[in-house]
Structures are given as C-alpha cells and as structure tokens.
A and B are shown apart, each in its own frame.
Chain A
Amino acid sequence: MKPLLVSLCLAATFALPARADVAEAVQDHILPGYARFTEATRALADIDSCAGDTLRDGWNAAYDAWIGVAHLRLGPVEDDGRVLAIAFWPDPKGIGAKQTAAAFRKADPALLTPEQIAEQSVAFRGLTGMERLIYADTPPEGYACDLALALADDLARMAAEVEAGWRSGFAQALTHPGKDGRYHSEAEARQAMLTALVTGVEFNADTRIGRPLATFDIPRPERVESRLSGRTMRNIALSLAATRDLAQTLYAKDSLTDAAFAKAEAMVPRVDLAQVADPQQWLKAEILAQSIHAIRDAAMAEIAPALGTGIGFNAADGD
C-alpha cells in the first residue's frame, strides 16, 4: 500500500505542468500587465489630435502601464529591439534627441507611415521619442504632431505584438519547459523569473537613482529618467509596486521581501531626484537606493531558496 501511495503522489507531482510559482507569475502578473499595456497604448493610438492635454494624459497612462511590465526583459520584448524601442533610456550620448532633431530638419512625410516608422532607430521611437515631442517647450504642431501620433501608433503595434508573443508561445515556454524550448527545466524557468525580479528591482537603485545620484561632489540631476515630463519619481514608485507584485506571485509567503518593499516605497515620496544637487536630497536619494538594494538582498535570502534557484553560476561571478 505504502509504495503505491508514494508512486501516486509522484505521478501527481509530475502531472503538474510546472511549479505554481512560475505559472502564477505568468497568469496573475505578466499577462495582465501586458494586457494593460496593450490597452493603454491602443487608447493612446486612438487619439488623433495634439490639442489640449489629451495626448499627454494618454501617454502618461501608457507609460504607467509600461512600468508595470518594464522589468520583464525576457520574451518577445527581446526581439527586434522592442524593449529599447518602447523606452530608450538611459541615453547618455543623446542619440534619440539627435535623431529627433534630424527628422525635424528633413520633415519627410514619407517617414510617418507605419512601415517607415517601424524601421526607424530604437532611440528615435517609443515613449521617450514621444516625450521629446509632447513635452517640448512649445506644444507639437504640424510635423511634430504628426510624428507624435505616428509614434503612438507604432507603440500600440509593438505592445500588441509583445502581448501576442507571450500568449501564443512564450508563456508556454516558461510554464511548460522542455529540452527543445528556451527553458529546459522548471528550475531554469524559476531562475528566469528570479532574475527578472532582482534585475528589475536593482534597475531602480542602480540606474533610475544611480545615474542622477552620481557622486556627492558632482551630482547629475539632468540625468533623471523622464526629465521633461517630470515622471521620475512616479516611475520608481510604480516599478517598486510592480516588482513587489511579481515577488508576491512567485512566493506568497515573502514576508521579509515584502517588508523591504514597504520600507522603500514609504521613502519614495520624500525623495525628489530633480533636486539631487541639494545635499539633503542627495542623502535621501542615497538612502532610498540602499533600501532598494535591501529588497534585492531580502529576495535573494528568502525567495531564491524558496524557488530553489539563484542568479546564474557564471552571471554572478564573472572574469
């Protein structure tokens, strides 16, 4: 009797498509997040005028939705440079601004067709490309408006393609790993999820905060993300909320990690990276970055062992 029970239990275990952690992350976090992004960009693309605040409102809603999934740098966003084409930041050499200026000089109407826009550089397009137009000193008119509307359509196209890619194959590759797929085992799928979580959290500390923070002696407030639109701190708040949600779906009992998220999130309203030249603000930003690193440490101490995985053997080492 006993051996039979054991084998029944084993059979039940093997019958599951994948560990609930990855499946839940896909069902409850990833797919709904991409659905919101598709919806928000479609609404943005439906706007056909640059008058008033409508376009800015639609763009902000699309940006909010993007931050909900921007930490997921795996899957269809990796193809055709989409992850960069949707939001090209940081851009230390100002490639995007140069390309926008060049497009204005030419003012070529042929560029505005969906086919031509899709062929343009990743630095020129997407949310950051639109931001330069709709948050310029003067409201977009004429060619600038046409370009902004064309970029909105291009963004909606990419969002729809990414969501379709997840639903038609990549979700399956994660939840049903196998030797012919991108992930050979459940352990590899869990590692991919943990990597997305940890790198997503760290991006806030290392890049969103780290770039303007620079050094105490020479802070670089001009390097903030979304400088023109002033979304800088909102992006961080939304990113922490999104990665907190991913952590929860991966491991519901993530009390240490969740507490670390709560602590960092509570600090966000007190920090303004645009004011990082003020020593008081610099220190507050530095403390926020540390509290975000503490989330990473908590996740590695709590969620990584719960998932039975880590960051890669070579990725974590390097030489």
Chain B
Amino acid sequence: MRRRNFLTTLAAIGAMPRLSWADIGSPAYLAAAQTPDGSYSLHGLSLAGESLFALPLPARGHAATAHPERPHAVAFARRPGSYALVLDCARGQALARLTPPEGRQFNGHGAYSLDGSVLYTSEQLAENSEGRVGLWESATYTRIGEIPTHGIGPHELRRLPLSEDLLIANGGIATDPTDRTKLNIDTMRPNLARVTPEGKLVSLAEPPPELHQNSLRHLALLPDGRAACAMQWEGDPAEYPALLALWDEGRITLHEPSLEDSFAMDNYAGSIAYSPATGEIGLTSPKGGVVQIHGADGSYLRMVHRADACGLAASPDGFTLTDGNGAISTLRPGGLELRQNLGLQWDNHLIALAT
C-alpha cells in the first residue's frame, strides 16, 4: 500500500465508529481459499460453515491471524511470501499491505501480542533461511523491529497464553532464496524456541538426534500451558516416525500412532488443532487423506478418512475440518459429518477466532 492511500485509510478509520468482531456476526473461523475462477480470497466462516464475508487476496494464501479485539485479520501469503494483507473484515477493505524488508520472506504465519498492539510475523532471511520475527505496531502497521527465531526456516509461531512470549516452530529447513527447493535435509536441525518479545531465548527444544529430519512446523496451544506441534518427516520415506510432538516448558516428547496406522499420514501433517470440548489433538494429512486423533497426553486414539483434508480448528463439539474439495465438516468422536460445501478449495489452515 502506498503511504498516501494508507494515510487516507487511517483517517477513514478515525472518522468511523469502532467496530468489533461481534458487529460482523462473530465469525468463528478464518480460512483462505481458491475460488473456481482461479482467484484467491479470505473468508470469515460461521460455526455452521457459512461464509460471513469474503475479501480478495492477491495470491494464494496460507494462514491468517486475527486481532484480539478489532475485526482485523492478517492473511499471509503462501511461502515464500511476499505479502501479508491486513484486512478490516467489518468494512471489507484492506487496511495495509505488509511487505517484508529487503532480503526477508514471510513464512506464512503470524500472531498478535496479548493486547493486540503488536503483530509478529514469521520470516526468514532469503539468503540463508535464518529465522526472524518481524514486529509491526498495529495502529499503523509500521515495522518497528525484528528479533531472531533462534533457528532456521521458522514456520508457525504462537503467543503463549497469559504471556508475551512466543513459541516458534523453527522447521529447520533452509530453502533456495527464490523457491521452495530444500537445501539442507542431511543436516537440518528443527527446534521449538520460546522467545521473549525482546528476542531473548527462554528455552529451546529439539527432537532426538535420530529424528533431526522431522521438521517442526505447526502449533496448537493446550489449555494447561503445553503446546502440540505437528511435524513433517524429511528422512527416509520408508520410515514412519511420530508426527506429533508435545512441548512442555522446553522439553518435547514424541507420540506415534499405532504401527498399522503409521503410514496413513504419508509422513506429513498439514495442520494441528486442540479441541477443548473433547480434550483431543487432531492432525491432518492432505497427502494421506486422513485425520489422526490423539489424546491430550499424546496417546493415539483413531483415524478418519477424508481426501485432501487440511484445515482444522476446534468446534463446540470436536473439530471443524476443511479440505481442498470444498467441504466444511464437523469431526466429532462419532465420525465426520458434512456441514457445507461452498464450491471453494480451502487452503492449509482454518483459524479459530477467540471472539
């Protein structure tokens, strides 16, 4: 966004009454999609899967994050990302288009500070994939600084509950500056880093050495202060190691499904979510066409089949699941039930709004 347009937009915000998420029907979720004409958009969805609003995106999206109070959503581009779009979901307009500083790339995820005053963006240096968190103040979406992620190729980051610290999934994979070609699979070392907003490392957890090729990528926060992390295995594809890690203050434990269901994820977890209603952790695999459910202690429970399943978030009675064939389904302990199909291809992530 050009500075002049941006200032005009700011002036407009000042002139209008402040709206909240409730004023736009309290959407339960945000999700990016491709429409049948090939364009991309960000949708606000009700619990029943109705689209409450749809705002255009300039290119394929990946994930989004929502401001805790203001109805602002930040849609992140698919990695390596050249944009993050701050959208005023109430007025249906773009507030700001964030572009990473020279030599940096957005990595598809971000989060707000506890009070919403700062937006954190997951980034890497194009040159060597070293991780950075971009800091943007959220009144004008001006960049105010950056801190290290303490790892290579960071992917999802989440703010820990009742804290300003960030939990960052450093995927460990160095990529070519111009595309997604992986450069360091033999030597990659992913980690989960807890980092203060000033960039100080509080704790660092790594998978055991023999599983150093298990890329830690996506996060779900648990109500007791722990976190669950979904992994993608880059090692020998004939091995099917655990794809779920549970993080507890700097230590991680890995949790495998049963041997007979181990191959079904195809060594790839696309999204992860925790459901407070059922106390379960779900991992999706669009490559395997399955969702695997674990208990909050990591124990493996069961598996559900759904082709191209990827987006997953908590619902009042389990999970809501989105897939590349357009279905928005409810996943309860009893099974999977289709709620809506809007004829869109849902992208990787379904973001639950706390409002």
User: How far does the Cβ of A45 sit from chain B's closest Cβ, in whole Å?
Assistant: 22
Measured in the bound complex, the distance between the Cα atoms of B62 and A196 in whole Å is 27
B292 at the A interface (CB under 8 A)? no
User: How far does the Cβ of B120 sit from chain A's closest Cβ, in whole Å?
Assistant: 19
B270 at the A interface (CB under 8 A)? yes
B307 at the A interface (CB under 8 A)? yes
Measured in the bound complex, the distance between the Cα atoms of B341 and A180 in whole Å is 13
Which residues between 236 and 293 of chain B lie within 8 Å of chain A, taking CB atoms? 236-239, 258-261, 263-264, 268, 270, 286-287, 289
Measured in the bound complex, the distance between the Cα atoms of B305 and A312 in whole Å is 14
A-chain residues with CB within 8 Å of residue B217 when the two chains form the complex: 319
| Contact indicator A318/B287 (Cβ below 8 Å) | yes
Q: Which of A84, A85, A207, A312 contacts B325 (CB 8 A)?
A: A312
A122 at the B interface (CB under 8 A)? yes
User: How far does the Cβ of A235 sit from chain B's closest Cβ, in whole Å?
Assistant: 16
| Contact indicator A313/B270 (Cβ below 8 Å) | no
| Contact indicator B263/A184 (Cβ below 8 Å) | no
| Contact indicator A319/B259 (Cβ below 8 Å) | no
Tell me the interface secondary structure of chain A in the complex. loop
| Interface residues as binary, A184-207 with B (CB distance below 8 Å gives 1, 0 otherwise) | 110110011001000000000011
| Contact indicator B260/A313 (Cβ below 8 Å) | no
A-chain residues with CB within 8 Å of residue B108 when the two chains form the complex: 319
| Contact indicator A92/B308 (Cβ below 8 Å) | no
A-chain residues with CB within 8 Å of residue B289 when the two chains form the complex: 195, 312, 315
* Best-buried of A81, A183, A195 by chain B (most CB within 10 Å): A81
A140 at the B interface (CB under 8 A)? no
B-chain residues with CB within 8 Å of residue A123 when the two chains form the complex: 259
Nearest-CB residue, chain B, relative to A313:
B324
Q: Which of B286, B305, B346, B347 contacts A315 (CB 8 A)?
A: B286
Nearest-CB residue, chain B, relative to A183:
B307
Measured in the bound complex, the distance between the Cα atoms of B345 and A211 in whole Å is 35
| Contact indicator B259/A84 (Cβ below 8 Å) | yes
User: How far does the Cβ of B157 sit from chain A's closest Cβ, in whole Å?
Assistant: 15
Nearest-CB residue, chain A, relative to B171:
A319
Measured in the bound complex, the distance between the Cα atoms of B324 and A176 in whole Å is 21
User: How far does the Cβ of A304 sit from chain B's closest Cβ, in whole Å?
Assistant: 15
A48 at the B interface (CB under 8 A)? no
B-chain residues with CB within 8 Å of residue A90 when the two chains form the complex: 238
User: How far does the Cβ of B1 sit from chain A's closest Cβ, in whole Å?
Assistant: 26
B-chain residues with CB within 8 Å of residue A91 when the two chains form the complex: 238
| Contact indicator B308/A315 (Cβ below 8 Å) | yes
| Contact indicator B324/A121 (Cβ below 8 Å) | no
B-chain residues with CB within 8 Å of residue A184 when the two chains form the complex: 325, 327, 338, 341
The 10 closest A-B pairs by CB, nearest first: A81-B260, A313-B324, A312-B308, A314-B286, A90-B238, A314-B310, A315-B286, A313-B345, A92-B238, A314-B324
Question: Could you list 15 further interchain pairs (A-B, Cβ under 8 angstroms) beyond the known A93-B239, A315-B307?
Answer: A81-B261, A91-B238, A92-B236, A123-B259, A182-B305, A184-B325, A187-B325, A191-B308, A314-B308, A314-B348, A315-B324, A317-B348, A319-B79, A319-B108, A319-B217
A-B contact pairs, 25 of them (CB 8 A): A81-B258, A81-B260, A84-B259, A84-B263, A92-B236, A93-B239, A95-B259, A182-B305, A191-B308, A191-B325, A195-B307, A206-B237, A312-B286, A312-B287, A313-B34, A313-B345, A314-B310, A314-B323, A315-B324, A317-B348, A318-B232, A318-B270, A319-B78, A319-B79, A319-B217
